[in-house]
Each structure stands twice: as structure tokens, then as C-alpha cells.
Amino acid sequence: MSSDVPYFVDYMVVAGGVIAFYQAFAIGANDVANALGTSVGSGALSVKQGIILGAIFEFLGAFIMGQFVTGTIKKGLVDIDQYAGELDLFILGMTCALAATTVWLLVATYFALPVSTTHTIIGAIIGFSVVQKGFGSLKWWSLGQIGLSWVLSPVLGGAMAFALFFVTNRTVLLHPFPWERSLQLLPYFAGLSVAILAVFIVRAEGPVVGVHLPVWVDVIVAVVVFIITALIVWRLIVPFMRSGRQLASYFPFRLFMKPRKSEPLIRASTDEQLAGGEAGTRSSEAPAPDSHQDDVHRAEENFVPLMVLSAVFVAFGHGSNDVANAVGPFAAVIEYKSTATINPNGDSIPVWIIAMGGLGIVLGLCIWGHRVMKTVGEDITKLTYSRGYSAQLSTATVVMLASFFGLPISTTHTAVGSVTGIGLVPNKLKVEGGLDRKTLGKIIIAWCVTFVAGAGLCIVFYLALRAIFFH
């Protein structure tokens, strides 16, 4: 440690490390709803299966793509040059921001509110910096970009989810023979999902290994992965499902899929109302359902593998974006302890810090994560498998896109926006529930309160500790 670092920074390192880990724990406990709520709520995954998938891919997302957003949280919100000669105050403020965010997350989790970790940590950092240095200490351009992303993320998530489910609804569920149609389109849906994830991983890993790839590489990767995935599903998975067997009955699929069928959410209706009459020919291998609504329900079962796949992507994207909220401020503390300075242009974050945050998220998910799942997964709108898949793929795409650009968006915003978009699709199949505006209103109020709560708690902690260490 540099001799220029004040003695109390040692305390900040210990306290910051403990609080950062505990905040990552709180993120896993609260934000697990964003990654797994729709899968659990739709019945595609049990809570135990969701936690297993989430634990693996939340950590991988944090480890592979977490560096991008962590750099923004660490030094992209406040003008560090204004703390020249007073970096110890900046480090104290960052530690208080961690403490404030952790306290608020645990309170929100207790009341089962899916609040935004991103809003809390950014509000906390702004709070202590305004108290110490005034509004001129803020990087307004960066804050403006983040604020715009907060508005756009739920809108983009909702729009993409609406469009994806609208197409799915028209081409599969309202088709005269939805079960057969779902099997025909399954390879395309799977190929699209895997291609999106592959592009983001390639794009994220390029700068890490010192290679800046042109856009045409992304296009080639997307096309190749799409074709390979679609062929595998078409040649192996579809014939298996067409035979009437369930993937969930066989290892290793049964680790991540529920073999039983969930209760249908579709009310009784006549064939003429749903299908508009007879059309086309049904595969001779497909068991004849009693009615169109039964065929729709069987078609929904074919979306279970896609639900599991999209849950993996959301967990990966969530880990990549939200790990920064826990370890970004702590990374600044560690850098100051080691060098007695903070490089405003440095983006490198020690791997062990990213890994620590990922591990904390996983533990929080495993121990306390089930508390918030129901709110996003069930209370906003009822989710069938096709609805849940559309919502999750949309959420994953928007979140990973934001992670690539280093924008700390709210996964909560995006997930709720996506689920809301699904609820706005015309309900011609009479799915029970519809959009619960009361629950949605409570969540929006919690979002608004979150930013203020983060700032207020951080200011209280900061003023108290500043009085102790800088009396």
C-alpha cells in the first residue's frame, strides 16, 4: 500500500469488501426475479431448477462480460479530478454507497419488491458527491446516457416482447394446428436465441483478448450459429418431441426441466372461434386433440425447452450487467489502496473482484432468491410458456446490448417492461389474468422511491462517517 494512503483506508477495504459481497448477495436475492421469475411463474422451471441454472449462468455472465459496466460504476458517474488531494473522501463515499444500496435491497427483498439495484447504487453515488462537491462534480453526459437508457430499456424490452409474442401468437397459437406448427418453427426460435447469445459473447471477449472485431464477423457468427442450432434441433430434438416423449424425462434435461405439465391457462372456447374453421392437414404422427384449445396447450408444452434456454440467457445477461453494482465502488477502493490514486481512464478490474461479486450473487440467489420470484413471474400478468419465452428473450437481448455498451441499465425495468409488453398483446386465446395494473403501479412507485432512498441513505452514512474520520 502507498504511504500516501490514510490509515482508515484499511478499514474501508475490509468494510468495503464485506459490504460489496453482501450487496452482491442482496442482488442475487432480489434481482433473481428478473432472470428466473418468468420461468418459475410459467411453470417451466421449479424454484430448485431455476436456482441451479441461475447459479451457473449468473456467475458466467459476471465473469465474462462484467468488466464493461463495472468500469462505468467505478469512475463514469463522478468527475474524479474534483477530488484531487481528497480521494480519501471519494473512497469513503463509495463505501457508503455500497452500504446504502445493500440496506435498501434487503428492505425491498423483505417486502418482495423487485426494485432496481442500478437505481439505488447510482442514486447513492450521486448523493454523497453532491453533498461533498456539489452538482458540478457529476458527469452529466454519462448520467444523461444512463437516464435515457433507463427510459429506453423497459420500452425496448416491452416492444421486442410484444412483437415476438405477437408473431408467435399469430403463426403458432392461432394456427389451425398449433402443435404441428410449433414443432415446425422450433428450430428457428432456438437458432435465433443461441445466435443472439453467441454474438454478445464474441463481441465481449474480443476486447478482453486484445482483438477488435469488425461487424461482419458478428454477422457471420450469427448466421453460422443459427444454422447449426436450427439443424441440431430439427434433426434431433423435433423428432424426439414429435414421438410424444418429453425431454424432461431424460438426463441431463430433467435437471433443468419439469416433466409434468402445468395447468392450462386457456379457457374453453369453440374451435371456430379460435381456428376460424378447418384448414391444412395434421401430421399423422400427432395425436388428435379433443379440441383446438387442447392442441394449443400441447403446443405451449413445446416452448418449455425455449423457456429454459431463454432463462439461461437472462441469467447470463443479468450477471454481466448487475455485478457492477456490487463491485464497481469496491474496485475503486482497492485501486486507491494500491496506488494512492484512481485512474479516470482505466477500465481494468481485477478478475478476483468480478469473481467475488459473481459468487455473492449466486449465494444470494440460492439462499433468499425465491422471495421475489412470484411478483415478476405471476403477479404482473399470467405467463404461459410461449409468453415467458418471448419476455425472457427480449429481456436478455436488451440487457446484454446495454452491457456491451457499458450502460448500467436496470434489469428489473427491462424484465417488467417485457412482461408488460406481453400483457398488451390482444388476448384472443382468453388467457386468464391479463395485465395487473395495480401490481405494475406498485412496482413503478418502488422504482421512483429507490433512487431517492439510495441517495438519502448514502448521505446519512457519509455525513456520519465523515464526522468520525475527518473531525
String of b and e for 448-462 (b: at least 16 CB within 10 Å)?
Answer: ebbbebbbbbbbebb
Q: What percent of the chain has pLDDT over 90?
A: 13
The predicted-structure confidence for 187-241, as pLDDT tens digits, reads as follows 999 999 899 888 877 776 555 445 567 778 888 989 999 999 999 999 988 888 8
CB of 98 closer than 8 Å to CB of 329: yes
**pTM above threshold 0.85:** no
Helix, coil or strand: residue 12: helix
The predicted-structure confidence for 282-341, as pLDDT tens digits, reads as follows 444 444 445 777 888 888 888 888 888 888 887 887 777 677 667 877 887 888 888 777
Largest Cα separation within the chain, whole Å, is 83
CB of 69 closer than 8 Å to CB of 349: no
Q: Write out the three cell numbers for 406.
A: 457499458
For residue 170, the tally of other CB atoms under 10 A from its CB is: 13
Rounded to whole angstroms, the Cα distance separating 68 from 320 reads: 8
Question: Quick one: how far is CA 136 from the chain centroid?
Answer: 32
Task: Please give the DSSP secondary-structure letter assigned to residue 170.
Answer: I
Helix, coil or strand: residue 436: coil
Rounded to whole angstroms, the Cα distance separating 403 from 322 reads: 9
| Residue whose cell numbers read 391479463 | 434
Smallest CA-to-CA distance from 418 within 37, 169, 151, 161 is with: 161
Q: For residue 46, is pLDDT > 80?
A: no
CB of 97 closer than 8 Å to CB of 128: yes
Residue 283's φ and ψ, nearest 5 degrees, are -60, 140
The predicted-structure confidence for 116-134, as pLDDT tens digits, reads as follows 777 888 899 999 999 999 8
Task: Please give the DSSP secondary-structure letter assigned to residue 243.
Answer: T
Task: Please report which confidence band the pLDDT of residue 54 belongs to, taking 50, 70 and 90 as the band edges.
Answer: confident
| Residue 471 burial (C-beta neighbours within 10 Å; 0-12, 13-18, 19+) | exposed
Q: Work out whether the CA dihedral 60, 160, 76, 114 comes out positive or negative.
A: negative
Rounded to whole angstroms, the Cα distance separating 334 from 230 reads: 46
